[in-house]
């Protein structure tokens, strides 16, 4: 009887089509609620459009339209100005799951698995029974090609209903998809508008237009005309690679020697390093890599972590960059009128499981943001907003693990999401984001990523704390100074009248009341020349003369030697300009003028100031010199500035140079200070 049952079961066993699997488990792809279904449809189409434009080095112009058809049915239209898709490839791209060009490459892209847009087509036909309409035009062709197609879930193949050439007037190249699907369009949080708002923040080079079914429109103008550099495919990095993947690579390699396998199949491994790895693993460099035993492979894997290797090549990643993050946040969030944008942080690359990644973070504070509610968290992965499963995301957990109270935000018990008028933004760029599901809604709790997020956030938070403490001190000193300015002259005048004597000079008394060295900055933007003129005033309100070394940190792309008046005495590493005032008498001031070039409107609103030689208790508008600064390496001297000499960039390390394990490097050091605002 048992044999008969086994035979019957064997007859029923058959291969499951991947399309049928996802058709029955559409929630895995993000189609698990009416609201999420619409957002997922928009997300997949917009992601494809942005990837295509960037690969063709085209500034994206994306149009999104949603029309209500009744009974929770909508027509979604997404159109772009990308390079278009070749006619023969259109049916497979939109009507076949797990079909794409990026799955086997190690480089940063939004989409990689070849599921997203074809899953939207599948969901549309499943819920409305209507085919998707795709139009594509390649540059140089006279006509576009329009398709109507279904996805055959049983065979995982496209079924063409119609194909015809059409004239697409005014369009040189691009792609348009129109799909009908069931869903619900909402306003406010977790809406299409919020998704597009987030997309505009992390894609400052894109212009996005949106027409909603309620008759409203949204328009996000690009913040920059610089297209992100194309990411380059790299090989896996040895640090963090898993045993099974290493065994697979050894079996499929064409290298005849183990040393050759290590130097050709991995990034950051030179011939010299390959020999070191073999020595530490106790293996012959000339051994056949395909014949290694399991124990030998384990030894090789252990040797990876014991060998110092260069960080992974960052050309495979496309971080936004601190400058563009700040500019984009101002462009998109400007209507909230925040009082402070903490200088964003871009950490140096790290590795998890052989995959390079970079973390970026920024904090926006004050203005019209609500102070009695939890901070808003903006989560991004590979320039894509993460809209759902916030509580299950490693980014959220990293935020919850930080004690935000020392940084000026309310937080009960020092854990959990802080409260206050702030927006916390985190972006993770990687060749492989460890999502918790195929819906790509949250980042898995990988220790290396979580720690990097914490480091980036703490660096931003320190800048927020310095800003808040500086504003608090400045407010108190200003209040004291205003009172003294009003009362002391009046007291002096009345006393002189009573005693019938000349009115005394109250300046020395004012100095005793203030007892600070104040640094202030005035910025003026010139739109025609795209320059910012900065006038920095250092005034001594202390009873005695002061000897001051003053530092201003200025990004090197903004300023040249001839733009500094007076010229600095030194220019140190990291764009740190130093002026020395050996004697600044009491109640006198010194002025420094800077001219910053190539500045976009709203991009530059403060300079970072640091002072050495003044007690921090008597310093206003600047911060004491950070103790972790390396002041030994001089880039340029005063004599060099007078000759117009520019600093030279450091030489890149050699392939065999020891510069620390890529998985354990500290990255950029945190610097204190916020600017003189």
Q: Are residues 200 and 304 in the same domain?
A: no
Examine the domain organization and report whether 273 and 140 are in the same domain. Answer: no
Q: Which is nearest to 376 in space by CA: 197, 177, 134, 119?
A: 197
How far apart CA 365 and CA 375 sit, in angstroms, is 10
CATH of residue 628: 2.60.40.10
If asked whether residues 81 and 203 sit together in one domain, one would say yes
Top-confidence range, 239-243, 323-327, 392-396, 508-512:
392-396
Q: Does the residue 457 lie in any domain?
A: no
Distance CA(365)–CA(423), nearest Å, equals 7
pTM: 0.72
| pLDDT average, residue stretch 63-84 | 93
Considering only the C-alpha atoms of the chain, give the largest distance between any 2 of them, rounded to a whole number of Å. 126
The residue that leads in pLDDT, 212 or 670, is: 212
What does pLDDT average to over the chain?
82
Q: Are 182 and 300 contained in the same domain? A: no
- Tens digits of residue pLDDT in 626-647: 765 655 544 444 344 334 444 3
Least confident of 134-143, 531-540, 667-676: 667-676
Q: Quickly list H helices, 349-446.
A: 394-401
Residue 418: count other Cβ atoms within 10 Å of its Cβ. Answer: 23
Looking at residue 156, its pLDDT comes to 79
In a domain, 358, yes or no: no
177 & 216 share domain? yes
- Whether residue 491 has pLDDT greater than 50: yes
Q: Do 200 and 291 share a structural domain?
A: no
User: Residue 301's domain is classified under what CATH number?
Assistant: 1.10.8.50
**396 within domain boundaries:** no
> Which are the contacts of 538, defined by CB distance < 8 A and separation ≥ 6?
517, 518, 519, 548, 550, 581, 584, 589, 590, 591, 592
* 214 and 249 fall within a common domain: no
Residue 540's DSSP bridge partners are 517
In Å, how far are 277, 485, 534, 592 from 537, measured between CA atoms? 57, 20, 10, 7
Based on the fold, state whether residues 147 and 291 are members of the same structural domain.
no
In a domain, 662, yes or no: no
Of the candidates 632, 662, 604, the one whose C-alpha atom is nearest the C-alpha of residue 347 is 662
CA angle 14, 16, 18 (to 5 degrees): 160
Does residue 148 have a cis peptide bond before it, meaning omega lies within 30 degrees of 0?
no
Q: Which residue has the higher pLDDT, 350 or 17?
A: 350
CA dihedral sign of residues 235, 241, 242, 247: positive
| pLDDT of residue 454 exceeding 90 | yes
Give the neighbor-by-neighbor strand order of the sheet with 619-620: 564-565, 589-597, 531-540, 517-526, 619-620
Neighbours of 547 (CB within 10 A): 12
Q: pLDDT digits over 428-446, tens only?
A: 998 888 888 777 889 999 9
In a domain, 237, yes or no: no
For residue 597, give its domain range.
505-642
Do 211 and 77 lie in a common domain?
Answer: yes
Which residue(s) pair with 596 in the sheet? 532
117/141 Cα distance (integer angstroms)? 24
Which residues have a Cβ under 8 Å from the Cβ of 616 and sit 6 or more positions away?
623, 624
Strands in 322-472 per DSSP E:
340-346, 350-352, 355-365, 376-381, 384-385, 422-430
- Residue 456 DSSP SS3: helix
Boundary-marking domain end, from 260, 275, 308: 308
The answer, yes or no, to whether residue 653 has pLDDT greater than 90, is no
Per DSSP, the three-state class of 98 is coil
pLDDT digits (tens, 9 = 90+) for 560-610: 667 888 988 888 766 788 899 999 998 889 999 999 888 877 778 788 888
- CATH number of domain containing 215: 3.30.565.10
Residue 672 has a pLDDT of 35
Structure-token pair, residue 396 = 């959220």
Percent of residues, the chain, with pLDDT higher than 70: 85
In a domain, 163, yes or no: yes
Distant-in-sequence, close-in-space partners of 35: CB < 8 Å, separation ≥ 6: 183, 184, 185, 186, 190, 191
Place of tokens 């759902």: 388
Q: How confident is the model at residue 379 (pLDDT cuts 50, 70, 90)?
A: very high
- 3-class secondary structure per residue, 9-75: HHHHCCCCCHHHHHHHCHHHHCCCCHHHHHHHHHHHHHHHHHHHHHHCCCCCEEEEEEEEEECCEEE
Domain count, the chain: 3
Helices 34-55, 192-202: crossing angle, 10 deg rounding: 30
Contacts of residue 455, Cβ cutoff 8 Å, sequence gap at least 6: 347, 359, 667, 670
Helix (H) or strand (E) holding 152: strand 144-152
Query: pLDDT (tens digit, 9 = 90+) per residue, 292-312?
Result: 999 999 999 999 888 888 877
380 has pLDDT over 80: yes
Examine the domain organization and report whether 202 and 276 are in the same domain.
no
* Residue whose entry in the numeric block shows the structure tokens 């990643």: 317
Query: Has residue 17 got a pLDDT over 60?
Result: no
Tell me: do 270 and 184 sit in the same domain. Answer: no
Percent of the chain scored above 90 by pLDDT? 32
Q: Are residues 516 and 570 in the same domain?
A: yes
Cα–Cα distance, 39 to 188 (Å, whole number): 13
Angle CA 656–657–659, to nearest 5: 135
Closest CA to 600 of 222, 79, 109, 48: 222
- Is residue 615 a part of any domain in this protein? yes
In the predicted structure, residue 3 carries a pLDDT above the cut 80: no
Cβ neighbour number for residue 619 with a 10 Å cutoff: 21
Q: Please check the confidence at residue 148 and state whether its pLDDT lies above 50.
A: yes
Domain assignment present for 668: no
User: What does the CA dihedral 630, 633, 639, 642 come to, rounded to 10 degrees?
Assistant: -70
Buried b vs exposed e over 300-334: b needs ≥16 C-beta within 10 Å? bbebbeebebbbbbbebbbbbbbbbbbbbbbbbbe
Distances (CA, A) of 425 to 69, 192, 364, 510, 535: 36, 19, 8, 44, 31
Domain boundary among 291, 308, 325: 308
pLDDT of residue 641: 39
């Amino acid at each position: 009887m048992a044999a008969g049952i086994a035979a019957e079961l064997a007859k029923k066993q058959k291969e499951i089509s991947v399309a049928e699997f996802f058709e029955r488990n559409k929630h895995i792809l993000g189609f698990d609620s009416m609201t999420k279904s619409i957002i997922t449809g928009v997300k997949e189409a917009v992601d494809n459009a942005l990837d295509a434009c960037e690969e063709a080095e085209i500034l994206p112009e994306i149009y999104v339209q949603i029309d209500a058809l009744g009974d929770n049915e909508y027509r979604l239209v997404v159109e772009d100005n990308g390079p278009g898709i070749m006619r023969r490839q259109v049916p497979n791209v939109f009507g076949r799951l797990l079909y794409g060009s990026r799955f086997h490459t190690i480089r940063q892209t939004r989409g990689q698995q070849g599921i997203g847009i074809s899953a939207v087509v599948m969901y549309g036909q499943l819920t409305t029974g209507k085919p998707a309409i795709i139009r594509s035009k390649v540059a140089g062709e006279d006509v576009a090609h329009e398709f109507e197609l279904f996805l055959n879930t049983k065979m995982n193949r496209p079924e063409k209903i119609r194909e015809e050439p059409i004239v697409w007037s005014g369009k040189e190249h691009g792609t348009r998809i129109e799909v009908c699907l069931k869903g619900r369009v909402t306003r406010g949080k977790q809406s299409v508008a919020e998704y597009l708002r987030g997309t505009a923040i992390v894609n400052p080079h894109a212009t996005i237009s949106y027409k909603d079914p309620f008759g409203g429109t949204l328009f996000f103008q690009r913040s920059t005309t610089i297209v992100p550099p194309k990411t380059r495919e790299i090989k896996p990095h040895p640090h963090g690679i898993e045993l099974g993947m290493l065994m697979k690579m050894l079996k499929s390699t064409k290298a005849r020697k183990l040393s050759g396998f290590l130097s050709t199949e991995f990034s950051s491994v030179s011939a010299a390093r390959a020999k070191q790895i073999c020595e530490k693993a106790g293996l012959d460099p000339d051994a056949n890599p395909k014949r290694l035993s399991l124990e030998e492979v384990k030894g090789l894997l252990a040797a990876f972590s014991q060998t110092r290797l260069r960080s992974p090549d960052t050309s495979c990643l496309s971080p936004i960059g601190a400058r563009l993050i700040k500019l984009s946040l101002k462009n998109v969030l400007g209507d909230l009128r925040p009082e402070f944008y903490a200088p964003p942080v871009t950490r140096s690359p790290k590795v998890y499981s052989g995959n390079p990644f970079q973390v970026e973070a920024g904090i926006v504070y004050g203005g019209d943001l609500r102070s009695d509610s939890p901070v808003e968290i903006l989560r991004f992965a590979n320039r894509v907003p993460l809209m759902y499963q916030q509580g299950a995301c490693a980014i959220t957990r990293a935020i919850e693990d930080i004690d935000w109270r020392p940084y000026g935000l309310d937080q009960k018990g020092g854990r959990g999401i802080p409260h206050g008028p702030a927006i916390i933004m985190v972006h993770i760029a990687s060749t492989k984001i460890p999502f918790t599901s195929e819906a790509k809604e949250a980042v898995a709790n990988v220790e290396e990523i979580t720690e990097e997020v914490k480091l980036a956030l703490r660096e931003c938070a320190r800048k927020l704390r310095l800003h808040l403490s500086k504003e608090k001190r400045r407010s108190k000193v200003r209040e004291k100074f205003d009172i003294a300015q009003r009362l002391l002259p009046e007291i002096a005048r009345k006393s002189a009248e009573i005693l019938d004597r000349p009115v005394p000079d109250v300046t020395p008394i004012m100095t005793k009341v203030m007892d600070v060295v104040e640094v202030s900055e005035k910025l003026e933007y010139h739109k025609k020349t795209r320059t910012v003129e900065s006038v920095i005033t250092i005034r001594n309100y202390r009873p005695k003369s002061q000897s001051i070394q003053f530092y201003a940190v200025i990004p090197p792309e903004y300023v040249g030697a001839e733009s500094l008046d007076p010229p600095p005495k030194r220019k140190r590493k990291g764009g740190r300009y130093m002026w020395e005032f050996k004697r600044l008498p009491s109640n006198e001031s010194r002025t420094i003028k800077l001219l910053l070039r190539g500045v976009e409107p709203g991009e530059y609103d403060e300079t970072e100031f640091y002072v050495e030689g003044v007690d921090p208790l008597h310093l206003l508008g600047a911060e004491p010199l950070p103790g972790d600064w390396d002041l030994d390496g001089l880039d340029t001297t005063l004599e060099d500035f007078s000759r117009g000499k520019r600093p030279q960039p450091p030489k890149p390390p050699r392939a065999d140079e020891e510069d620390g394990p890529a998985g354990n490097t500290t990255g950029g050091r945190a610097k204190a200070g916020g600017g003189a605002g």
